């Protein structure tokens, strides 16, 4: 099978201002790919701004008009910097998109917040791709703008829709040309029955790139970021970091599971099936090799990888009557963890106790504790930090826990996890 198509994905940080949009053209000129699908996220913090519009719509409707006006101004000012013609059609297109959102909010009768969210928030991507496509045309880079909602078909599970792969594949081959440059949106899709907009959940734009690559049998996917590639630790928390040149699919999924912001596992799964390599590169330095996630060696260079999750909760349960904690008890605990949307990062159990580290994202800790107290003796520590180290040497672990209060430590062949009291 000859792979000729490549997929590029530019995140919000890479198109947050006029310089970012110009830089997309620079990357294309330097990499010189002729057959490309380019997936673009909403500019800068626009997804947050549109979430703010949804919030106003439900809680403070009088502010909706001004919030939309601010979004229009943001895109308008970027466009005024990059378009030489003040009468360029792009200004009218921006206005039309803002008007469409406004009309939807005025006529909508649904009280389903997830549905309204998906109909509104996606305009960030529609605006960014409209501007980038028009700018590339101005720079004599011929391209076709495609609405991704005509390509990716999902179920109607708003905010976290599941892809109908068979129909999606048919729609992609019908709507995306196998040659030339196509510009399209990340994160968005449409459900089959009414054609309502849906969104693909967390890391949705990376996932869009993977869906397109899978259906088009692409040669590669490149995610353009403001970092040189994937590092072995977060530079905000660790003084020295190492650029990873190559990571296997499996290792990348392991790192993502433990909380590394490498690549979301659902992005890797379709790529792994067809062995399509994924590159993470710097949009400041397009010709440097970056990181490749693909088949082959687990990790190059073979070095320890550090993942840090702050603000976790360590929960320890023991039976009220000192009886053994058995499968039935553990099953009951997990039913409650699922019910209260607690993401589990670590599990440890002994004969009469059971400990988990959980992420209290949805602030359900109090109700969870109340439910557990009827069956267990419960103790907990809030605001702990969980360190996960892959491929650690004993010195790595020793220097990490030096002068720190360790609440729990768990070790397997490739992974050490340590819970530290902050």
Highest mean pLDDT among 80-89, 148-157, 326-335: 148-157
Q: For residue 2, what pLDDT is reported?
A: 55
For range 170-196, the mean pLDDT: 96
pLDDT at 384 over 90: yes
For range 417-421, the mean pLDDT: 94
Query: What pTM does this model have?
Result: 0.89
Helix axis angle, 89-107 relative to 64-82, nearest 10°?
170
Q: For residue 1, what pLDDT is reported?
A: 47
End-to-end CA distance of the chain: 53
Q: For residue 320, what pLDDT is reported?
A: 84
Q: For residue 253, what pLDDT is reported?
A: 87
Q: What is the pLDDT of residues 302-326, one digit of tens each?
A: 999 999 999 999 999 998 887 777 7
pLDDT at 185 over 70: yes
Higher-scoring residue by pLDDT: 415, 422:
415
Percent of the chain with pLDDT over 90: 79
| Local confidence band at 350 (pLDDT 50, 70, 90 cut-offs) | confident
Assess contact for 224 and 27: CB atoms under 8 A.
Answer: yes
| Local confidence band at 192 (pLDDT 50, 70, 90 cut-offs) | very high
- β-pairing, 246-248 vs 299-300, is antiparallel
């Amino acid at each position: 099978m000859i792979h000729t198509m490549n997929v590029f994905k530019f995140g919000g940080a890479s198109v947050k201002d006029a310089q970012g949009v110009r830089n997309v053209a620079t990357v294309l000129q330097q990499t010189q790919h002729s057959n490309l699908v380019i997936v673009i996220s909403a500019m800068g913090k626009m997804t947050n701004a549109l979430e703010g519009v949804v919030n106003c719509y439900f809680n403070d409707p009088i502010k909706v008009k001004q919030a939309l006006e601010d979004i229009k101004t943001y895109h308008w000012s970027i466009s005024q910097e990059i378009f030489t013609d003040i009468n360029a059609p792009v200004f009218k297109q921006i206005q039309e998109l803002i008007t469409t959102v406004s009309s939807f909010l005025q006529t909508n009768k649904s009280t389903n917040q997830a549905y309204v969210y998906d109909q509104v928030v996606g305009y960030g991507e529609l605006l960014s791709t409209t501007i980038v496509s028009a700018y590339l045309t101005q720079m004599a880079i011929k391209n076709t703008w495609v609405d991704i909602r005509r390509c990716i078909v999902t179920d109607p599970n708003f905010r976290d829709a599941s892809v109908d792969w068979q129909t999606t594949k048919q729609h992609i081959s019908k709507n995306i040309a196998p040659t030339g440059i196509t510009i399209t949106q990340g994160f968005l899709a449409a459900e089959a029955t009414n054609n309502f907009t849906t969104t693909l959940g967390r890391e949705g734009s990376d996932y869009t790139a993977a869906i397109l690559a899978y259906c088009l049998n692409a040669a590669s996917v490149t995610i353009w970021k403001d970092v040189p590639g994937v590092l072995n630790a977060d530079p905000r928390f660790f003084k020295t970091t190492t650029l990873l040149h190559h990571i296997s699919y499996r290792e990348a999924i392991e790192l993502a599971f433990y909380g590394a912001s490498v690549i979301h596992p659902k992005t890797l799964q379709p790529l792994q099936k067809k062995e399509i390599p994924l590159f993470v590169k710097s949009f400041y330095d397009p010709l440097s090799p970056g990181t490749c996630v693909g088949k082959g060696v687990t990790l190059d260079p073979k070095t320890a990888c550090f993942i840090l999750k702050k603000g976790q909760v360590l929960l320890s349960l023991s039976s009220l009557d000192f009886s053994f904690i058995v499968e039935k008890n553990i099953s009951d605990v997990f039913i409650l963890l699922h019910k209260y949307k607690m993401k589990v990062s670590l599990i440890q159990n002994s004969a009469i106790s059971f400990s988990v580290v959980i992420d209290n994202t949805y602030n359900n800790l109090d109700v969870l504790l109340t439910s557990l107290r009827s069956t267990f003796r419960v103790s907990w520590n809030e605001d702990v930090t969980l360190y996960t180290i892959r491929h650690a040497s004993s010195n790595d672990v020793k220097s990490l826990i030096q002068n720190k209060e360790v609440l729990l430590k768990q070790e397997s062949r490739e992974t050490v996890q340590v819970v530290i009291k902050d």
